[in-house]
Chains A and B, each alone.
Chain A
Amino acid sequence: EAGVAQSPRYKIIEKRQSVAFWCNPISGHATLYWYQQILGQGPKLLIQFQNNGVVDDSQLPKDRFSAERLKGVDSTLKIQPAKLEDSAVYLCASSPLDRGELAFFGQGTRLTVV
């Protein structure tokens, strides 16, 4: 079974630039999560989708971050404009519907903002 695919693996941008990350979940998984993992910290949930609807985006900095999951499959996470403190690994995970305890994680995208 293919895992959660993320791209790119690494990205370096200057502050105030924009960036987008892509995630392809495991086939059939209705729930998709984006986590932010800052160096030295545990992952923090940014947004959770159930199919193409948002379940929880309470910790998403909406003034600069946006995410979408068109057609309930792939998802993109965008940052515009980026700040230095956005440097982190962005992890995507997916799970069957309402079964977050069965979440599988992708390898993540490491973002460096300079």
Chain B
Amino acid sequence: AQSVTQPDIHITVSEGASLELRCNYSYGATPYLFWYVQSPGQGLQLLLKYFSGDTLVQGIKGFEAEFKRSQSSFNLRIPSVHWSDAAEYFCAVGGMLTGGGNKLTFGTGTQLKVEL
């Protein structure tokens, strides 16, 4: 069964600092990996995704993530945190369903708080 672990429940950083949000996954084959962000009262917005190829993927807002197969990780890096980045971040792994289609399994999320 596929699963995702986000070990950091809450993180507080100062604006302008760099940050890495951790994500570890369990999946039987090469996974699809995702990072989503959710602001209060909003739906999930896709930040970036990895399917194959270059293990360093770039997303919106200058975010990036690196797929490390040996560590089963897909950590998200924010080079310089802005106050508007305060939100909840979810890592997800995707896999094919037997009957077709894809199924996303989400981690429990990391709540990011930004101090000005």
Residues of A within 8 A of B (CB): 4, 31, 33, 40-45, 48, 50, 55-56, 91, 93, 95, 97-101, 103-108
Distance in angstroms from A60 CB to nearest chain B CB is 13
Q: Contacts A42-B107, A43-B106 given: A100-B101 contact, CB under 8 Å?
A: yes
Q: Which residues of B sit under 8 angstroms from A103, Cβ to Cβ?
A: 102, 104
C-alpha gap A23/B91 in the complex (Å)? 24
Q: Which residues of B sit under 8 angstroms from A97, Cβ to Cβ?
A: 101
Q: Are A99 and B43 in contact (CB-based, < 8 A)?
A: no
Q: Which residue, B90, B92, B100, B108, has most C-beta atoms of chain A within 10 A?
A: B100
C-alpha gap A56/B94 in the complex (Å)? 14
Whether a CB of chain A sits under 8 angstroms from the CB of B44 is: yes
Residues of B within 8 A of A (CB): 4, 32, 34, 36, 41-46, 49, 51, 90, 92, 94, 97, 99-109
Q: Which residues of A sit under 8 angstroms from B44, Cβ to Cβ?
A: 43, 91, 93, 105
Give 16 CB contacts A-B under 8 Å.
A40-B108, A40-B109, A41-B109, A42-B90, A43-B104, A43-B106, A45-B105, A48-B97, A48-B103, A56-B103, A97-B101, A100-B94, A100-B103, A105-B36, A105-B44, A107-B43
C-alpha gap A98/B41 in the complex (Å)? 28
Distance in angstroms from B1 CB to nearest chain A CB is 11
Instruction: Select which of A33, A50, A95, A108 is within 8 A of B100 by beta carbon.
Output: A50
Distance in angstroms from A69 CB to nearest chain B CB is 13
Instruction: Select which of B36, B45, B49, B99 is within 8 A of A56 by beta carbon.
Output: B99
Q: Are B43 and A4 in contact (CB-based, < 8 A)?
A: yes
Q: Which residues of B sit under 8 angstroms from A43, Cβ to Cβ?
A: 44, 90, 104, 106
Instruction: Select which of B41, B51, B90, B102 is within 8 A of A107 by beta carbon.
Output: B41
Q: Which residues of A sit under 8 angstroms from B99, Cβ to Cβ?
A: 50, 55-56
Residue of A nearest to B104 (CB): A100
C-alpha gap A95/B101 in the complex (Å)? 9
C-alpha gap A4/B51 in the complex (Å)? 24
C-alpha gap A33/B106 in the complex (Å)? 14
